[in-house]
Amino acid sequence: MRASWQRVVTVGVCGGVLTCAGLVQPAAAGEDPPRISQAYADPHPGEAIGIDLLNYDWKPGAHLVAESPVFAAPIPMDNQAGNTGGFGFKAPIPASARPGSYPLVVKARGKVVARDTIDVKPMKGPSIEVDGGNPRRPGMTVNVFFDDLFPGERGYSFTAHSTAFTSPVRLAHDKKSWNNTRTFNAFDVPLRYTLHDGTYAVWVTDAGGKRKAEARLEIRSARPGDDDYVGQAKGPAFFGKQGYLYDARAKGFTIAAGRTVYVRWEDAHPDLGEQDRMAATSPAFQTPAKLTFDVPKGHEGDDPVFWGPARIKPGLKPGRYPVTVVSHHGRVTQTGYLTVTGSARDDGGHKLPTAAWAGAACGAFVLSAAAVLVARRRRRAPLS
């Protein structure tokens, strides 16, 4: 439905190649003759294919054109600006086309330089595809694609339904679809976190509530022996500044009350259904720390990393506090500890450890006393 593919067929043209004047000349030894490539080959009526001419030294004035009995009109190929998207020149197949094989030629100044065949497949009815990996786990997200390429269809309002979804999902018209103007989709559709293993129906309705198509969705939870049953979790670990992910420490981390701590969690095989549900909890936090998957780090070849901030409660009693992360649908629970110190505010409204505040106050007192002594000595000194 969505994937593009390309078929390249090499066809000789009387053992020659085309010059810039559009004439066929004998091919030099070792040179390949022009050949046609088709993107989105084997189309259905109403779709489009892409046509390109390979091994051809295109120059202005060649008057290249693709012709086939299945086309409503010849396809101009002179303007290279029309060769967009890497698919070649767009050649629509009329919705009224009958299934079968049709000859395809590319001409230059009226002379055929390459030949191929277009195979038009029988018309297909509306269909649904649910993409999201295999197996599909409870709580994960999926993508829904609806193909409504069928004679007489004109609607643009469609909704996908399933008892596996958290709610019905409105499908958006895919206006960027290159070869099919009747595609609709929805991305990152969440599956219910509490789903039981089994097969669930997915169906699409139009604006009037009429069912247009139906598919089946298989759901299976992780089982003992699966990589993501308990994963390979590491953490929680802690760091004090955003962006310092690799400075995270699992032990010996200290932070002042009222400040923000960052929690890091790693897992070589995270649960596919809870990537948007990860959180770290602690009696020291004002609210749980939502742990978000760090996409760039995941692309660097490291184990998947999750991290997020949490605010330490202001005025919290100094001490050692647990931080807990529960994952894999409760099959994994790990706890780390951080130390919270007392705090006070400086002139800028920031938190400072009590010892630092006391030291600053003592220093200010000493400087004030020194200033008073210097002033007194100056007043006592004789005038010159």
Instruction: Determine the 3-state secondary structure of 367 from DSSP.
Output: helix
Nearest CA-CA partner of 326 in 370, 249, 238, 265: 265
The pair of three-digit structure tokens given for residue 293, joined into one six-digit string: 């998957």
Q: Is the pLDDT of residue 237 over 70?
A: yes
Q: Is the pLDDT of residue 156 over 80?
A: yes
Is the Cβ–Cβ distance between 173 and 184 less than 8 Å? yes
Strands 289-290 and 292-293, bridge-based pairing: unpaired
- The angle subtended at Cα 98 by Cα 97 and Cα 104, nearest 5°, is 70
CATH 2.60.40.10-classified regions of the chain: 127-219, 233-345
The pair of three-digit structure tokens given for residue 114, joined into one six-digit string: 């390459």
Confidence category of residue 296, pLDDT binned at 50, 70, 90:
low
Residue 35's pLDDT is: 94
**Side chain identity at 183, as an amino acid letter?**
T
Strands 332-341 and 254-256, bridge-based pairing: parallel
The Cβ of residue 143 has, within 10 Å, a number of other Cβ atoms equal to 14
Q: What's the burial of 275, exposed, middle or buried (CB within 10 Å: 0-12/13-18/19+)?
A: middle
Residue 225 main-chain phi, psi, to 5 deg: 105, -25
| Alpha-carbon torsion angle 278, 282, 288, 291, nearest 10 | -30
Whole-angstrom distance, CA of residue 23 vs CA of residue 50: 25
Confidence category of residue 19, pLDDT binned at 50, 70, 90:
very low
Average pLDDT of every residue of the chain? 82
* Domain topology for 6-120: Immunoglobulin-like (2.60.40)
Taking only the tens place, the pLDDT of each residue in 69-94 is 999 999 999 877 777 778 999 999 99
Residue 96, CA distances (Å) to 120, 145, 323 in order: 11, 24, 65
Residue 297's pLDDT is: 59
The region, left, alpha or beta by phi > 0 then psi within -120 to 50, assigned to residue 132 is left
| pLDDT: which is higher, 368 or 312 | 312
Strands 254-256 and 292-293, bridge-based pairing: unpaired
pTM passes above 0.85: no
Query: Which range among 96-105, 232-241, 247-256, 269-278 shows the weakest confidence by mean pLDDT?
Result: 269-278
Contacts (Cβ under 8 Å, ≥6 apart) of 194: 138
In order, the DSSP letters of 274-299 are -TTT-EEE-TTBSS-EEPEE-HHHHT
Average pLDDT, stretch 300-309?
86
Confidence category of residue 355, pLDDT binned at 50, 70, 90:
very low
Taking only the tens place, the pLDDT of each residue in 117-128 is 999 999 888 999
Tokens 């960027």, located at residue = 176
Is the Cβ–Cβ distance between 206 and 158 less than 8 Å? yes
Q: What's the burial of 60, exposed, middle or buried (CB within 10 Å: 0-12/13-18/19+)?
A: exposed
Is the Cβ–Cβ distance between 146 and 46 less than 8 Å? no
Question: What CATH number was assigned to the domain covering residues 127-219?
Answer: 2.60.40.10
Confidence category of residue 366, pLDDT binned at 50, 70, 90:
very low
User: In CATH, what class is 233-345?
Assistant: mainly beta
Q: Is the pLDDT of residue 380 over 60?
A: no
| pLDDT: which is higher, 30 or 106 | 106
